[in-house]
Amino acid sequence: MLCLTGVENELFQAIQDPVLVVTPDGIIIDANKAALHAAKKKSYEILGQGICKIIHGGSSPHLKCPLEDFLTTCSSRVEETTLPGFGGEYLLTISPVKDKDGTVQKILLIARELTGDEMRKADSLRTAQMAAIGELAAGVAHEVNNPITGIINFAQLLLDDSEKNSLQAELLQRIVNEGERIALITKNLLSFARDSGNSNEPIDIIQVIKDSISLVQHQCKKDGIKIKEQYPKGPCQVLGNFTQLQQVILNIISNARFALNERYPDTSPDKQIDISCQTMVDENNQPIIQICIKDTGTGIPQGILKRLFDPFFTTKPSGKGTGLGLSISYGIVQDHGGIIKVDSIMHQYTRMLIELPLTGI
């Protein structure tokens, strides 16, 4: 607890927004009444705890919390972020407090809850950022594609003229294999950037989901994972590409399986994936279908949710994922005129929401 005078403490407690005082290594040393109320905790449950555990719900053992990492720099920052520990979207202001000798022993965190308009503005900004990343990814993929094709072709020509089972043939085959791996990565980048010539046609999105589930049903059963489904009556028609949308559903189910197996290595009644759909209208009063895929696995650290759709970013341990599955899914959904969102709390759940425009209504 900080040593404050009576007046200082009254002012600190009178602030209507949640305020936390932390050390540079992320340990909470004080909290005002608004912070305790938002967190629904007593002071003894907060003081001495790590900041990520209280406002984010925890972190993954193989991923360092970006907030805690930033606090060690003793720098200022203002960012819009989700704080599950406070139950909403907030504007988080980080302000280091310098001592007389210039050192920083305390950092002030003030969280102001965002209004609806501010949240919509943040979503629009994120969409624009992802579009810019898509353009960059497409440019990089095109630039890499031509020289790597040349490398593969020249290596293949040399391989054809080499003696079989020789060291030279083995090395050339490795060049071809690695080149093809790079070519596959650039192809995936182009998928993320929506550089696709595939045409769309009216399809039943419910059938897409059911066919996707049938492909993974055996593996899920082997892992002890139950899949619970809930659909509206009748077909739900969207204008899209069946294979691409199936890829999106399979990517999300694959991530859900991984998270569930991480949290529950053995069988558990909570080892379940819930897939549900509902029809509704968007903010422009246009008919849409919302697909919700929820798992009760490890969850995703709150501090990295905004990076989840970035190319090559993965929450899985090294060697377990490429970081392209969700970025490709993001591009496909956006190409279909829809949006994809994620909501997650560590050690509780992850919920992926896909919204697509309905047609033929």
Domain map (residue ranges) of the chain:
6-114, 119-192, 201-357
Name the token pair of 168: 């030279």
* 68 touches 86 (CB < 8 A): no
At how many degrees (to 10) do helices 205-223 and 242-263 cross? 30
Residue-level pLDDT at 128:
62
Distance CA 20, CA 303 (A): 17
- Nearest CA to 151 out of 120, 121, 174 is that of 174
Q: How many whole angstroms separate alpha carbon 303 and alpha carbon 113?
A: 17
Of the candidates 213, 18, 234, 236, the residue with the CA atom closest to the CA atom of residue 113? 18
- Check residue 195 and give its pLDDT: 46
Q: What is the DSSP letter of 115?
A: P
Furthest CA-CA distance within the chain: 87
Residue type at 103?
T
DSSP 17: S
CATH code of 119-192, in short, is: 1.10.287
Where does residue 243 rank: exposed (0-12), middle (13-18), buried (19+ CB within 10 A)?
exposed
**Which tokens in the block code for residue 307?**
């990076």
Dihedral-angle region of residue 102 (phi above 0 means left; psi in -120 to 50 means alpha; beta otherwise): left
How far is Cα 143 from Cα 350, in angstroms, rounded to an integer?
A: 36
At how many degrees (to 10) do helices 116-160 and 325-335 cross? 110
163 C-beta neighbours (distance < 10 Å), count: 8
Domain 201-357 in CATH 3.30.565.10: yes
Same fold, 6-114 and 201-357: no
Cα–Cα distance, 167 to 151 (Å, whole number): 19
Question: Are the C-beta atoms of 69 and 301 separated by less than 8 Å?
Answer: no
Per-residue confidence in pLDDT tens, the chain, 361 aa: 566 666 778 888 889 999 999 999 999 999 999 999 999 999 999 999 988 888 887 766 656 778 888 899 999 988 888 888 888 888 889 999 998 888 999 999 999 988 777 666 666 666 666 666 666 666 677 677 778 888 888 888 888 888 888 888 889 888 988 888 887 777 766 665 554 555 688 999 999 999 999 888 888 999 999 999 999 987 889 999 888 898 899 889 988 999 999 999 988 889 999 999 999 988 888 899 999 999 999 888 777 777 777 766 666 555 555 556 687 888 889 888 899 988 888 888 999 999 999 986 5
- Cα–Cα distance between 26 and 177 in angstroms, integer? 45
In sequence order, the 6+-apart residues with CB closer than 8 A to the CB of 198 are: 241, 243, 244
Q: Is 347 in a helix, a strand, or coil? A: coil
* Domain 6-114 CATH class label: alpha beta
Cβ atoms 32, 19 nearer than 8 A: yes
Residue-level pLDDT at 107: 92
Instruction: Give the Cα-Cα-Cα angle 137, 143, 146 (nearest 5 degrees).
Output: 130
Residue 337 identity? G
CB 270 within 8 A of CB 315: no
Number of Cα atoms under 13 Å in the Cβ half of residue 93? 11
